[in-house]
């Protein structure tokens, strides 16, 4: 996700310094003539605004605390990762004590949205900080919106992932049924995606299912991580999310069967197998 986003920022004309914890992933940016930092501490020293996109809560905490060691007063850190809402709220409080600013800004739209510069960003934090970050975020997002205070961006992302889980199950269940019932798979996907059953999942994952392409995309392992966060957030809100719990269970079974690195759309195959 971060690579295509950085490309859009560069093409928009912003001064850009890049860093990746896997150094070889930064080399293509060095070849383009961009500055490549050797460490997060170096990023903190040099940049007024820092945009993170890493995997999980513990990764964000590690990165933010490294940046905070060297960042100047007023530096703005925007986190596009999907993490626990309470972790985002805690990081905001820790950084505020150091006169640093933090926005939790998880994204939706998938890797395809990142490539197209058409992501949606859910922002939690202080309005002024979000407004300061908007010009950069607008380089890779079609919509950037404040949804509340610290942690609210992550709560909105949890709501988003709850909907994503339901859409994924609906897609895979419908197409697995159609194939088992003797319907033509490509035609079924085409007809259903144009009617009341249509969704982002039908448009983007439907073709992968028809092609039998289980390459990510978004992996089963990553979706499991996100749904764990969703269930924790639901417990905190005293909300019941039975559909999410079911999808989470099915994906964990896929991981135990060695399918964690596949796209989540591979749930289609599991449902076919389960149907005998």
Q: Give the active site residues.
A: 157
Cα 118–Cα 139–Cα 193 angle in degrees, nearest 5 = 5
Cα(145)–Cα(181) distance, integer angstroms: 44
Peptide bond into 188 cis (omega under 30): no
Euclidean distance between CA atoms 219 and 18, whole angstroms: 25
- Beta carbons within 8 Å of 190's beta carbon, 6+ residues apart: none
Interatomic CA distance for residues 99 and 95, integer angstroms: 6
Nearest to 168 by CA among 126, 220, 229: 220
108-146 core/surface letters (b: 16 or more CB in 10 A; e: else): bbbeebbbebebbbbbbbbeebbebbeebbbbbbeebeb
């Amino acid at each position: 996700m971060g690579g295509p986003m950085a490309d859009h920022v560069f093409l928009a004309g912003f001064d850009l310094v890049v860093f990746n914890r896997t150094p070889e992933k930064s080399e293509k940016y060095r070849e383009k003539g961009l500055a490549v930092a050797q460490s997060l501490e170096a990023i903190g020293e040099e940049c007024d605004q820092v945009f993170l996109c890493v995997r999980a809560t513990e990764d964000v905490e590690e990165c933010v605390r490294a940046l905070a060691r060297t960042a100047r007063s007023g530096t703005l850190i925007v986190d596009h990762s999907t993490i626990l809402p309470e972790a985002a709220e805690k990081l905001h409080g820790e950084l505020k004590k150091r006169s640093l600013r933090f926005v939790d800004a998880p994204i939706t739209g998938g890797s395809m949205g990142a490539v197209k510069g058409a992501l949606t960003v859910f922002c939690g934090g202080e309005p002024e900080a979000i407004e300061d970050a908007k010009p950069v975020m607008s380089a890779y997002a079609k919509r950037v919106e404040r949804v509340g205070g610290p942690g609210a961006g992550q709560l909105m992302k949890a709501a988003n992932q709850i909907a994503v889980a339901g859409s994924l199950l609906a897609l895979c269940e419908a197409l697995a049924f159609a194939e088992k019932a003797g319907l033509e798979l490509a035609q079924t996907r085409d007809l259903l995606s144009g009617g009341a059953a249509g969704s982002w999942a039908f448009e983007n994952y439907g073709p992968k299912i028809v092609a039998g392409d289980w390459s990510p995309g978004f992996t089963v392992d990553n979706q499991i991580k996100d749904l764990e966060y969703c269930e924790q957030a639901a417990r905190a809100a005293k909300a019941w999310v039975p559909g999410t719990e079911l999808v989470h269970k099915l994906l964990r079974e896929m991981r135990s069967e060695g399918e964690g690195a596949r796209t989540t759309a591979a749930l289609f195959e599991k449902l076919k197998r389960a149907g005998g």
